[in-house]
Chain A
Amino acid sequence: MAWLDPSLLLLTAAGTLAGIYVGAIPGLSVTMAVSILISFTFSWDVNDALALMVGVYCGGVYGGSRTAILLNIPGAPAAIATAFDGFPLAQRGEAGRAIGVSTVISVMGGFIGVAALALAAPAVAEFALKFAPRDYLLLAIMGLLLVGSLSGESMAKGVFAGAFGVILGLVGMDPLTAEGRFTFGTVALLGGVHFVIAMIGFFGVSEALVQLHQIGVKPIKQDVSRILPSWSVIAKYIPLSIRTSIIGVFIGALPGTGGDIAALLAYDHAKRTVKNPSRPFGTGAYEGLIAPESANNAAIGGAYVPMLTLGIPGDAVTAVFIGALFIHGLKPGPMLMIETPHLFWFTVGNLVLANIFLLIFGLTGIRIFAKMVELPKGILVPAIIVLSVVGTYAIKNSLMDVYWMLGFGIFGYFLKMYGYQVGPIILGVILGPLMDESYRQAIISCRNDFGIFMLDLVTNPLSLVLTVAVIFMMINQTRLWPFFLRIFRRRT
C-alpha cells in the first residue's frame, strides 16, 4: 500500500487543497496546473509526482462548483451546469447548505467513479471504443436539446443563443482540413475561440455587470447555521446521484468527451426524470445541483479508464497525465496494466484518498466562502472582473482572448437585459465543434451517402439506442407528447 506512505498522504492532501483553489478561479484550469506540475516534479519519484497531480485533478473538478454556486461564475467548464440551480440557491441565502450538499454528493460521485475504475475498467474501456463518430454526433445532439430547458422566457431566444454559440465554436482553423473559418484572413483568429473564454465572458463579466444594478442594495444574508446536510436529506438524493454518476463514468470514459458534457447531460437527465423537485428547476432545485456535481466527479474515474487500460486519454487532463508517465520513463498503453499493475492500484488508492481529503477540505471553510457573497458589490464586482481578465489571459497567454472575453461580457450583459439566457450559448460553443466534426467523419465514412448514414443509425445496436433516445427526447418536449401519453394510458 504505497499510497498510505505519510509523505504521499501529505502530497495528495496538498494537491487536493491547491486543486480546490485552482478550480475555483475561472481560467486557472486543472489541465494547466497539471502540466506545470510535470516540469516542477521532473526530478521527483513518479509516485510522488502522481500523488500530487491526482490531488490537483480531483480538487480542481470539485472547486469549480464553488464560484458557480456563489457568484454564477463556473470556475471550470465541468461546473457550468452547477450554476443553473446552484446560483439561485445562493440568491435565496442557502449557499452554505448548497455547498454542503454538493460536497457530499461530489465525493459520492467520486467514489462511484473510482469503483467503476477499479472493478470494471477493461469492460468500460472496450465499450467506450465502440462509439463511432455517428454516436458522438447523437450524444452532441442530445446535449444540445438541453437548449429547450435553458431557454428561460422564450424558446426562440434560447434557440438563437444556442445557434450563436454553435457558430462561435466554428471560428478558427477547421481541425479536419486546416482551412480558416470566419478568420477574415488574420492569424490571430486562426486559434479560434476557446470555450472557456466564452464561459468567462458570458458568465463572469456579464454577471458582474448585471450585479452592478444592485450596487446599493444590501446583499442577501446567507444562512450558515446548518452546513452539514443531515443524513435523511442525502439519502433522499442517493438514487438520483447514482444514476447521474453512472452517466458521468461513461461520458468521462469516452475519449472525445469529458466532465463538462457529462455534467450537462446529467442535468438534463435530472430535469427529465425527477417528477417533483424540491423547487422548479432553474430556481434553486437541489436535484439540479446534485446531478451535475455527482456526474463531473464520477467522470474523473471514468476518464482514467481508457488512460490506464489503453493509454488513450479520457479528457484533456488525462492527456497531460500520459505525458507525465512518458517523462517518468513509463509506457502508457495497453501493456501498462500488465507490466506495471502497481501503478494502476496506486492511482486507484490515490483517487480514494483525494476524495476523502475533498470531503474534509470541502466541508471546512464553507462559512468564509459563503460570506464572500455578502461582500458589498463595489468590492466584489471589480474583483470578479480582474480575476476574469487574468484567468482568460492565462489560458493561451493571448491578449486577443482578453478582448474576446470582454466583448462577450458586454454582449452577454445586453442579452441578459433583453431576456436571453447565456447558458445555451456555452452549450453551443462546447457541443457545436463536436457535432461538426463527428457529423463530417460519419458522413465521410459512408462516402457521402446520406442513405447509408441513416441506415447506420438504425442498424447498429448502440446507435439505435441513442437514436431512439434522441427521438424520444425531442417528442417529449413538443405538444405531441401529452397526446401520445393519453393514447398509451387508454390502452393500459
Chain B
Amino acid sequence: MKRGLLLLVALLCGLFLVSAQAADYPDKDLQGVIMWGAGGATDNVTRAITPLVEPILGKQIVLINKPGGTGAISTQYVYSNPSDGYTLLFGAENPQVHRILELSDMDYKDFYPINILGRGVGVIVANNDTPWNSFKELVEDAQKRPGEIKMGSTGPGGLPYTVGAMTKSITNMDVTYVPFQGEGPGVTALLGGHVDFIPAGITAVREHIRAGRVKALAMVSAEPVPGLEDIPLITADFPEFEKYLPWGPFYGVWVKRDVPDDAKQVLVNAFKQGAADPKFQDFLKDFGTVSMNISGDEADAFLKKWQSVTCWMYEYAGATKVSPEKLGIPKP
C-alpha cells in the first residue's frame, strides 16, 4: 500500500516534470515588473500593452511597480528571479546609462529584448514671453549673454538633460541648467515662467503646443514626426545633430538573457502581435511616441547604438563617473 502510494507520487512528479519541459509555456500567470511608479510614462505604456497581450498568451500578466534608483532596483530584482521566462521587465532607456553613472553594474546587455514598443522624440519649447522664434535665435542669444538663460533640466538620464548635453556639445552655448525631478515638473515651471526653455518629450508638451501656451522652437529629429510636421527640424539649422539621431527615450519588455529560447519565442510572438493591435498603435500616436515593435537582434543593435551615443555624449559633457571607454562601450 505504502509502496503503491510512493509510486503514484513518483509518477505524478514525473508527469509534472515532463509537462514542464514540454513546449506549453506559459502554464501559469506571469509577473510584470514596471521600472517606474504609477502614472509615469513607462507605467502608462505597460498598462496599455498588457491587456492586449494577455489573451494571446492565454495567461494573466500580474503587474507590479518597483520604482527606485531610475530603474536600478527593478533591474536587479528581475535579474535575481529564476530564468524561466515568468518574470518580465517593463522598462525604459535608463539602465543603459547606469554603468557610466555607477548606479548599477547591470544594463540591457544582461537582458533579452522581447519587444521595444516605441520611442519618444524630443522637442525644444520656450516660454511665450521669450523673444526667440527659432532655435537658432535662442543659441545666438545664449552665446551673447552666457549663463543668463535658464533651461529646465533633469538629472542625468532624463531627456532634457541629454538633449541639453547634445546641444552643448554642438553649439557650445552656455545656459543655466535648473534641474527638476522629471520633465513634467520642468514643463510646469516653463508654463509659470520660472525657466525660459526646456527640451522635453513630445508627450509632455504636445498639448501645450497645440493650445499655444508654449512655443515649439525645434524638433530634435532628422525626420518630420507625423502630425507635427510644421515644427522645424533641429537638423535644418544644425546639421551636426544628425550623428546623434534618432535619439529619445524608449519603452519595452525584457527577460533575462538565459531564458529558454522557446519561451522567448512565445513572448516575442505574443508581444509582436499585441503591439501591432490598432488600439495600441492609436495609443502610441496620442502619446506622442513613434511605434517601433522590434525584438531580438534588431532591438539589440538599436540598444547598442543608443548606449554608445548617449554614454559618449555624457563623457564629453563631463557627467560620467566611469569612462565609457573603460567599460568597452564603442564611440558612435
Residues of A at the B interface (CB closer than 8 Å) are: 31-32, 34-35, 38-39, 42-43, 129-133, 172-178, 180, 187-188, 190-192, 255-256, 310-313, 316, 319-320, 322-323, 326-327, 329-336, 338, 396-398, 437, 440-441, 444-445, 447
Given contacts A326-B287, A335-B211, list 9 more A-B pairs with CB under 8 A: A180-B103, A187-B72, A191-B69, A256-B185, A316-B38, A323-B39, A333-B206, A334-B208, A445-B178
**Whole-angstrom CA separation of A445 from B149 in the bound complex:** 9
Interface string of B148-181 (1 = CB under 8 A from A): 0010001111000000000000000000111111
Name the residue on B nearest A175 (C-beta): B181
4 closest Cβ pairs, A-B complex: A333-B207, A191-B68, A190-B69, A319-B39
Whether the Cβ atoms of A398 and B66 lie closer than 8 Å is: yes
* C-alpha gap A192/B177 in the complex (Å): 25
> In this complex, what residue of B is CB-closest to A448?
B176
Please tell me if the beta carbons of A444 and B47 are within 8 angstroms of each other in the complex. Answer: no
Set of chain B residues within 8 Å of A330, measured between Cβ atoms: 286
B interface residues (Cβ-Cβ under 8 A, vs A): 38-40, 43-44, 47-48, 50-51, 63-70, 72-73, 76, 101, 103-104, 147, 150, 154-157, 176-182, 184-185, 187-189, 191-192, 194-195, 206-208, 210-211, 213, 282-283, 286-287
Q: Contacts A312-B188, A326-B287, A334-B211 hold; do A38 and B47 have CB atoms under 8 A apart? A: yes
Known contacts A180-B103, A312-B184: A335-B178 contact under CB 8 Å: no
- Contact A176 B65, CB 8 Å, known A310-B191, A335-B210: no
Residue of B nearest to A401 (CB): B68
Known contacts A396-B66, A396-B68, A437 near B181 by CB under 8 Å: yes
Contact B66 A311 (CB under 8 A): no
Complex CA distance for A338 and B210, rounded to whole angstroms: 12
A45 to chain B, nearest CB (A): 14
> A35 with B39: in contact, given A129-B192, A256-B185 (CB under 8 Å)?
yes
Q: Determine how close the nearest CB of chain B comes to the CB of A269; give it in whole angstroms.
A: 25
Q: Which residue of A lies closest to B44 (CB)?
A: A323
- In the assembled complex, the Cα of A27 lies from the Cα of B190 at a distance in Å of 34
Contact A35 B47 (CB under 8 A): yes
27 residue pairs A–B, Cβ–Cβ below 8 Å: A31-B38, A38-B47, A39-B50, A42-B47, A130-B192, A172-B68, A174-B155, A176-B180, A178-B70, A178-B103, A187-B73, A190-B73, A190-B103, A191-B68, A310-B208, A316-B39, A323-B40, A327-B47, A327-B48, A329-B286, A336-B207, A396-B67, A397-B66, A441-B179, A444-B178, A445-B150, A447-B147
CA distance A445 to B179 in the complex (A): 9
Q: Which residue of B lies closest to A176 (CB)?
A: B179
Residues of the B chain whose Cβ atoms lie less than 8 Å from the Cβ of A329: 282-283, 286
- A42-B47, A333-B210 given as contacts; is B155 within 8 A of A175 (CB)? yes
Contact across chains for B72 and A445 when beta carbons are under 8 A apart: no
